[in-house]
């Protein structure tokens, strides 16, 4: 078995099902309990950082004590060694979690598949999980659509990723060791954005942002950067959800207005109150408004007042002020000097001509007074000056207006397309968004770049483009064809299936069992198609697994040497017993202990009976027949006696 893909000798890693900012999530199998799990692994490049390790372990500690149907359960934790360089290893921690089959709310919102009733139901499920975690003293601090999953089979929601969760008693619950605000900008509570201590009401604000996005398809605040979005959370009031979705009722608008208050004291004080208000809003009951005239209780929230200095400056620049500064001062009284020009014009009645001493008629001339030459000259000089000044002002204003109307528009600052080659899909998208470009995904097959990694952009990196221009981001969909791995024979079936998954192939649902004299039981013998052949990605590959047995051959009638060779080729041993047999040729097998075609275990000893020739039968000695003695002449008698004696000695002839 491939030990690099098995954690703690128990958890078999499968395909990658998710990737976050600091960890990868794999589908896995608990070999001991035989159940499917999700395994969250800290990225090896972050495993050396004590801060990331502490945050990773804090997630396990935070959720391990929580047992709620709307919170993803934690089963086990541990770490395993990963090569970090020459003669160096890194201990990478992992968390074994409940495997949840479903879709995140982020995917549902992007697909526009969330109705108003579903948005309320999803939020009620999230609030149920938060109510339970808050009672346990845990604040999530990162409620957002990507951290909530909807399970269609059970119609429930699951809250995930307690990676930045903290206990409510922790005074540094909003800041990391580097004093950076944690969380996602679109769902930050105002106190999180200001770096203050968080509590349960901070999670309720984020849950309200989640509900707002499900109802409208967009978060409450949108900005060019996370800083601008965080500033809006602190200072600005979001538009009612009904502005973007007319189907949202006034009751739901009132719930969101209450939950999105800048001061946490003005929001719902716990998740249970939020849930009750949502159920009431579903029935058309709105949340009561704040009393009329009540000022915000948050000292950091101020109402901007009009700047009279700016108004007065604008009034002066229009050229209207010089009428008040004329030598006669007919439109301005001395007591108005302390007021702004706008207030003086509003409060002063229409000017009334009052004759002065200089305007009295001379005696004897009923209609006009005789003026001295000096007075006439001064008057003409003043009139000429006033006319010239007026003409200059009009000419300057006309010239300025002409230049403004005919001024060419300022050149748009172009943006250089950044290089995204070899980055992951999420990293490439973030880089393009930060460059103020509009990326469009395009997935294409590639034989050398791993699936999910960026190939490049169209136009190429370095091209100058205007902001918000569309850029095609090519993402590798993996190779279109792949070779069946050569290292499948000799592996267990489970390990071979894992190798096939990594290669982009699918193991056949049924396994072919075959007899083998050399491959142990349960080990892969070969595949169909054979290893090394090229097939399309996603093809089904059949595994041929050894039964650990061989079929018994026919040995009877074979010579002893041939029978022994046949068994040896099958990895079997032979024990011989010789039995006399007059009907079978000596040295041939007459019996075998196992029948033909029977499946026997590898290495088994087979008993056979071999024929041998019977022992030879002894030849009996014939008994001689006695011969009677004839009566003859002596010579004849001697002769007969001699012949008889020879006959008794064996019938030899003299």
| 55-81 tens-digit pLDDT | 777 767 767 778 888 888 888 888 887
Q: How far is CA 11 from CA 61, 127, 262, 495, in A?
A: 20, 33, 46, 12
Q: Give pLDDT, residue 19.
A: 78
The residues carrying an active-site annotation are 142
Q: Give pLDDT, residue 629.
A: 63
Q: Which two tokens stand for residue 101?
A: 């089959």
Highest mean pLDDT among 58-62, 120-124, 498-502: 120-124
3 state DSSP class of 479: coil
H helical segments located in 236-289: 241-244, 250-259, 271-282
Q: Which two tokens stand for residue 372?
A: 């001295």
Tell me if 646 sits within 8 A of 653, measured CB to CB: yes
Work out the pLDDT band at 275, boundaries 50, 70, 90: very high
| 362-392 tens-digit pLDDT | 333 344 444 556 666 777 888 888 888 888 8
H helical segments located in 407-434: 425-434
The separation between CA 91 and the C-alpha centre of its own chain, rounded to angstroms, equals 22
Q: Give pLDDT, residue 238.
A: 93
Predicted structure pTM score? 0.45
Averaged pLDDT, 211-222? 94
Residue 132 reports pLDDT greater than 60:
yes
Q: Would you mind telling me the total number of residues written for the chain in this entry? A: 654
Residue 453 CB contacts under 8 Å (≥ 6 apart), including other chains: 422, 423, 424, 425, 475, 476
User: To the nearest whole number, what is the mean pLDDT of the chain?
Assistant: 78
Residue 20 reports pLDDT greater than 60:
yes
DSSP H or E segment with residue 345: helix 341-347
Least confident of 182-196, 205-219, 629-643: 629-643
Averaged pLDDT, 447-458? 89
Q: Give pLDDT, residue 281.
A: 92
Task: Tell me the pairing of strands 148-151 and 415-416.
Answer: unpaired
Q: What end-to-end distance do the CA atoms of the chain give, in Å? A: 96
- Crossing angle (nearest 10°) for helices 200-216 and 116-135: 170
- Helices and strands, counts by H and E, the chain: 16, 27
Tell me if 43 sits within 8 A of 24, measured CB to CB: yes
Residue with tokens 């169209």, as numbered in its chain: 458
- At residue 393, φ and ψ (nearest 5 deg) are -65, -45
| 323-360 tens-digit pLDDT | 333 333 333 333 343 333 333 333 334 333 333 333 33
Residues 394 and 391: their CA atoms lie apart, in Å, by 5
Q: Which two tokens stand for residue 434?
A: 């930060």
Q: In degrees to the nearest 10, what's the CA dihedral of 300, 301, 306, 310?
A: 40
Averaged pLDDT, 196-220? 93
Residues 218 and 213: their CA atoms lie apart, in Å, by 5
Highest mean pLDDT among 361-370, 409-418, 431-440: 431-440
Q: How far is CA 325 from CA 310, 328, 330, in A?
A: 19, 8, 9
Residue 317 reports pLDDT greater than 70:
no
User: Who wins on pLDDT, 8 or 596?
Assistant: 596
Averaged pLDDT, 261-286? 92
DSSP H or E segment with residue 386: helix 373-406
Work out the pLDDT band at 259, boundaries 50, 70, 90: very high
- At residue 459, φ and ψ (nearest 5 deg) are -70, 170
Q: Give pLDDT, residue 204.
A: 95
Q: Is 409 exposed, middle or buried (0-12, 13-18, 19+ CB in 10 A)?
A: exposed
Q: How far is CA 41 from CA 53, 461, 579, 651, in A?
A: 11, 32, 69, 111
Q: Which two tokens stand for residue 12?
A: 């078999």
Q: Give pLDDT, residue 517.
A: 85
Looking at the chain, the whole-number percentage of residues with pLDDT higher than 70 is 75
User: Who wins on pLDDT, 535 or 293?
Assistant: 535
| 580-599 tens-digit pLDDT | 888 888 989 989 999 998 99
Q: Which two tokens stand for residue 413?
A: 């600052």
Residue 121 CB contacts under 8 Å (≥ 6 apart), including other chains: none
Residues 182 and 175: their CA atoms lie apart, in Å, by 7
3 state DSSP class of 43: coil
Q: Give pLDDT, residue 228.
A: 87
Q: How far is CA 492 from CA 129, 499, 510, in A?
A: 42, 11, 15
Long-range Cβ contact pairs of 294-302 (< 8 A, separation 24 or more) = 296/262, 296/263, 296/266, 297/263, 297/265, 297/266, 298/190, 298/262, 298/263, 298/266, 300/190, 300/194, 300/234, 300/262, 301/235, 301/262, 301/263
Residues 541 and 532: their CA atoms lie apart, in Å, by 12
Its sign, for the CA torsion 484, 486, 490, 492, is negative
Q: Which two tokens stand for residue 495?
A: 């390990």
Residue 564 reports pLDDT greater than 80:
yes
The β-bridge partners of 306 are none
Q: What is the largest CA-CA distance in the chain?
A: 244
Work out the pLDDT band at 163, boundaries 50, 70, 90: low
User: Who wins on pLDDT, 2 or 465?
Assistant: 465
Residue 257 reports pLDDT greater than 90:
yes
Residue 632 reports pLDDT greater than 70:
no
Work out the pLDDT band at 201, boundaries 50, 70, 90: very high
Averaged pLDDT, 380-408? 83
3 state DSSP class of 12: strand
Q: Give pLDDT, residue 402.
A: 78
Work out the pLDDT band at 574, boundaries 50, 70, 90: very high
Residue 341 CB contacts under 8 Å (≥ 6 apart), including other chains: 312, 315, 316, 321, 324
User: Who wins on pLDDT, 325 or 39?
Assistant: 39
The radius of gyration of the chain's CA atoms, rounded to the nearest angstrom, is: 51
- Crossing angle (nearest 10°) for helices 200-216 and 271-282: 30
DSSP H or E segment with residue 416: strand 415-416
Q: Which two tokens stand for residue 380?
A: 């003409």
């Amino acid at each position: 078995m491939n030990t690099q893909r098995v954690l703690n000798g128990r958890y078999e890693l499968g395909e990658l099902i998710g990737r976050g900012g600091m960890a990868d999530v794999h589908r896995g199998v608990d070999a001991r309990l035989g159940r499917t799990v999700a395994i969250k692994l800290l990225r090896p490049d972050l495993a050396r950082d004590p801060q990331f390790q502490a945050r990773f372990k804090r997630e396990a500690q935070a959720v391990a004590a929580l047992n709620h149907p709307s919170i993803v359960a934690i089963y086990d934790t541990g770490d395993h060694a990963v090569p970090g360089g020459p003669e160096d290893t890194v201990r990478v921690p992992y968390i074994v979690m409940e495997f949840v089959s479903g879709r995140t709310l982020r995917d549902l919102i992007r697909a526009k598949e969330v109705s108003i009733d579903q948005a309320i139901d999803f939020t009620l499920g999230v609030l149920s999980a938060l109510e339970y975690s808050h009672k346990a003293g845990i604040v999530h601090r990162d409620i957002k659509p990507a951290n909530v999953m909807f399970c269609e089979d059970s119609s429930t929601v699951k809250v995930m990723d307690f990676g930045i969760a903290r206990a409510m008693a922790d005074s540094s619950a909003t800041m990391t060791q580097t004093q950076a605000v944690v969380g996602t900008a679109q769902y930050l509570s105002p106190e999180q954005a200001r770096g203050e201590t968080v509590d349960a009401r901070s999670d309720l604000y984020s849950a309200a942002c989640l509900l707002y996005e499900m109802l409208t398809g967009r978060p409450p605040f949108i900005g060019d950067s996370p800083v601008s979005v965080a500033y809006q959370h602190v200072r600005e009031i979001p538009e009612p959800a009904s502005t973007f979705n007319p189907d949202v009722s006034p009751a739901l608008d009132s719930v969101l207005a209450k939950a999105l208050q800048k001061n946490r004291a003005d929001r719902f004080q716990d998740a249970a109150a939020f849930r009750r208000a949502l159920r009431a809003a579903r029935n058309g009951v709105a949340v009561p408004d704040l009393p009329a005239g009540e000022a915000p209780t948050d000292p950091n929230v101020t109402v901007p007042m009009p700047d009279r200095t700016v108004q007065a400056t604008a009034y002066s620049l229009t050229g209207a002020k010089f009428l008040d500064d004329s030598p006669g001062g007919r439109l301005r009284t001395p007591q108005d000097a302390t007021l702004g020009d706008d207030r003086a014009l509003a409060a002063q009645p229409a000017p009334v001509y009052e004759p002065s001493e200089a305007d009295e008629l001379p005696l004897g001339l009923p209609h006009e007074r005789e003026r001295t030459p000096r007075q006439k000259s001064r008057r003409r000089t003043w009139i000429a000056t006033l006319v010239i000044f007026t003409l200059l002002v009009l000419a300057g204003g006309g010239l300025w207006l002409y230049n403004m109307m005919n001024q060419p528009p300022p050149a748009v600052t172009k943006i250089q397309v950044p290089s995204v080659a070899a980055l992951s899909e999420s990293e490439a998208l973030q880089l393009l968004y930060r460059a103020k470009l509009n990326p469009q995904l395009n997935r294409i097959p590639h034989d050398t770049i791993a699936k999910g990694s960026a190939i490049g952009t169209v136009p190429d990196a370095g091209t100058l483009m205007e902001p918000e221009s569309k850029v095609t981001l090519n993402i590798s969909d993996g190779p279109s064809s792949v070779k069946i791995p050569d290292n499948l024979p000799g592996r267990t079936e489970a390990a071979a299936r894992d190798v096939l998954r990594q290669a982009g192939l699918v193991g056949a649902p049924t396994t072919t069992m075959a007899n083998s004299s050399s491959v142990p039981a349960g080990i892969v013998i070969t595949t169909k198609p054979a290893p090394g052949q090229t097939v399309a990605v996603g093809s089904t590959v059949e595994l041929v697994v050894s039964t650990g047995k061989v079929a018994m051959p026919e040995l009877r009638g074979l010579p002893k040497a041939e029978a022994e060779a046949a068994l040896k080729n099958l990895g079997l041993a032979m024990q011989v017993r010789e039995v006399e047999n007059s009907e079978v040729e000596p040295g041939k097998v007459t019996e075998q202990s196992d029948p033909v075609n029977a499946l026997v275990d590898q290495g088994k000893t087979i008993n056979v009976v071999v024929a041998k020739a019977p022992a030879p039968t002894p030849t009996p000695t014939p008994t001689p027949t006695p011969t009677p003695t004839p009566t003859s002449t002596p010579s004849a008698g001697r002769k007969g006696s001699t012949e008889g004696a020879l006959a008794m000695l064996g019938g030899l002839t003299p």
